[in-house]
Amino acid sequence: MGVGTCCGKHNRDLKRPSRRESTDTMHLAEKLNNRDSKIHIKSDNIQKYYDVEWEIGSGHFGKVKRAFSKDVKISQDFAIKSIPKSKIKGRVELLQRELGSLMVVDHPNIIRLYEVYEDKHYIHLVMELCTGGDLFTQLLEKGRYNEGEAARIIYSILHALSYLHSLHIVHRDLKPENIMFATHDANAEVKLIDFGLAKKFITEDCLLHTPVGTSYYVAPEVLQNNYGPSCDIWSLGVILYMLLTGKPPFNGRSDLTIFKNILSCSYPKEGSSEWESLSEDAHDLLTKMLNSAPQHRITASDALNHRWFEKRNHKDSRVIDKIIFSRLKKQVYTNQLVKESMKLMIKYTKEEDISQLNDIFRELDQEHTGLLTPSELKEGLIKAGISLDMETIENIIRNAAYDEGDKLDYTAFIAATLDRKLLHNKDTLWLAFKQFDIDNTGTISIENLKEVFNRGGKKIRKKELRKILEIYGIDENKGIKFENFCNIFQKNDEDISSLESVYSRRGPEKSVMDSNRV
Ligand code: ADP
């Protein structure tokens, strides 16, 4: 069968593995050190805030339902995963691991977690909703993908893996059911979900010793109980093989046969019609991903540079253009409140509004770490015909970064480059306001601000917060009302515009920005 042809709806070689296969092998002896990735769980009735409607999926831990905010000002839909407490009895650390991992990650191809509620019987995770379905269902319908289509999907997931691995997080349960399409659009962003088995490991060479995963996708070293992040690359290699051929590479009537084939790395290659129909580059990448020796297996970052990805179906708009760059170079945070609020707002932006920026971010991030360095930005600018000295570029990054660091993370890049009209509109501002108004009083108090800053890992003194309120003429005792909140952003935009004139005369010097920071 030729590349890109479809096998129709009933693909006999693909079956959805039962959950037993995927979870029986779990062993939870590993203790999670999640000091730095704690999540705030709201002990409140979720029904007060969301209408939880129909089921859109179910997994080992519980059902996932589509939900709508009861707040009429919030038009966005959500996915709520409700986990019965009885299911997590004694396995709280497993759940904490999922939440902890999701809390620290910031990437366009990883599902966003908004908030977590707890009631007597359940833990509810409020997540970004993916409406495009999962990759497994799409694969069953399509039969197989052509190389261009597959390259686009695998490239995005590799990008997410490269980022996760650089943070020392290994997903460990990569399978097509855990890859979702954000929307039904043909070029929809793909999102990695289900961090139930993800494990934060301490160093690159610290190997894990717990057999987990789903039989088709499990790496040989996982079966031998000695594995690290490269087990994700193996699983993604299996997925790539399935997308291109419509068949799992390691198959068998029982798990035991599948495992035997995995351990001997025996899968249909030369001589099989599906394999022969693929390009040389596809053969090369698959062989490198399905290398049974983890130490010789290609890394996520090297795989992203493989020439097969030149086939990827992509849009033309990946190069940073002058308009986007002009927004980036103007970005400066006039105070901490604006900065934290922007972070919250970006979490709620619509996929269609940021898809071009996501492409640009991935393109600029040549080292695939999820963080833009000055030299990566310089190189990207050269491609766009903009030549700047390194010092200027470093200053631009420092001004736009959340921690005034020397690298720009994904959210900070989007916050800096997104059209302000999309960000500073009443709907998005309201969503950010609601995040600060923890006790739902309709006003944000100094205590609320301090708490939200703390949750975001930022220690801020009340004195500093009072100073910010003073600038905007807000009475501390009355708190910040929604109108005040909107005014803060209007004033921030005005301040940035007035800085621009200084900026364009003197260049983006640090002193200009510092004099405006609180
Ligand atoms: P579990 O961890 O319990 O196995 P998953 O996270 O895998 O559960 O979710 C189960 C199913 O619910 C998924 O296969 C998918 O179909 C659906 N689902 C999960 N998260 C989302 C989401 N954010 N948007 C839309 N559907 C989702």
Q: Which domains does the chain have, with CATH numbers?
A: 25-128 (3.30.200.20), 135-311 (1.10.510.10), 322-517 (1.10.238.10)
User: Which two structure tokens, joined as six digits, stand for 42?
Assistant: 């709201």
Among 12-26, 242-256, 300-314, name the most confident range: 242-256
Distance 21 CA to ligand 1 centre (A): 17
Select from 194, 195, 347, 351 the residue to mutate for testing ligand 1; criterion: most ligand atoms less than 8 Å from CB.
194
Overall average pLDDT of the 45-55 stretch: 92
What pLDDT is attached to residue 364?
92
What pLDDT is attached to residue 105?
80
CB 275 within 8 A of CB 240: no
DSSP 63-108: EEEEEEESSTT---EEEEEEEEHHHHTT-HHHHHHHHHHHHH---T
- Helix ranges (DSSP H) in 334-479: 336-347, 351-364, 374-383, 390-400, 410-417, 420-423, 426-436, 446-455, 462-471
Overall average pLDDT of the 336-360 stretch: 85
Select from 58, 60, 64, 122 the residue to mutate for testing ligand 1; criterion: most ligand atoms less than 8 Å from CB.
64
Phi-psi region of 8 (alpha: psi -120 to 50; beta: other; left: phi over 0): left
Report DSSP state, residue 58.
Answer: E
CB 379 within 8 A of CB 366: yes
Handedness of CA 180, 182, 183, 185 (dihedral sign): negative
CB of residue 130 inside a 6 A radius of ligand 1: yes
Query: For ligand 1, what atom is nearest to the CA of residue 61?
Result: 3
Report DSSP state, residue 143.
Answer: S
pLDDT at 342 over 50: yes
CB of residue 64 inside a 6 A radius of ligand 1: yes
pLDDT at 67 over 70: yes
Q: What would the pLDDT profile of 190-223 be if each residue is shown by its tens digit?
A: 999 987 555 544 334 444 544 455 689 999 999 8
CB of residue 56 inside a 6 A radius of ligand 1: yes
What pLDDT is attached to residue 91?
67
Handedness of CA 89, 91, 93, 95 (dihedral sign): negative
pLDDT at 154 over 80: yes
Q: Annotated active-site positions, please?
A: 173
Q: Decide: helix, strand or coil at residue 474.
A: coil
Distance 129 CA to ligand 1 centre (A): 10
Q: What would the pLDDT profile of 316-332 be if each residue is shown by its tens digit?
A: 457 788 888 888 988 87
Q: Please provide the average confidence, as pLDDT, over all residues in the chain.
A: 81
Report DSSP state, residue 351.
Answer: H
Range of lowest pLDDT (25-39, 472-486, 491-505): 25-39
Please name the residue whose Cα sits nearest to atom 12 of ligand 1.
57
Predicted confidence band of residue 53 (pLDDT cuts 50, 70, 90): very high
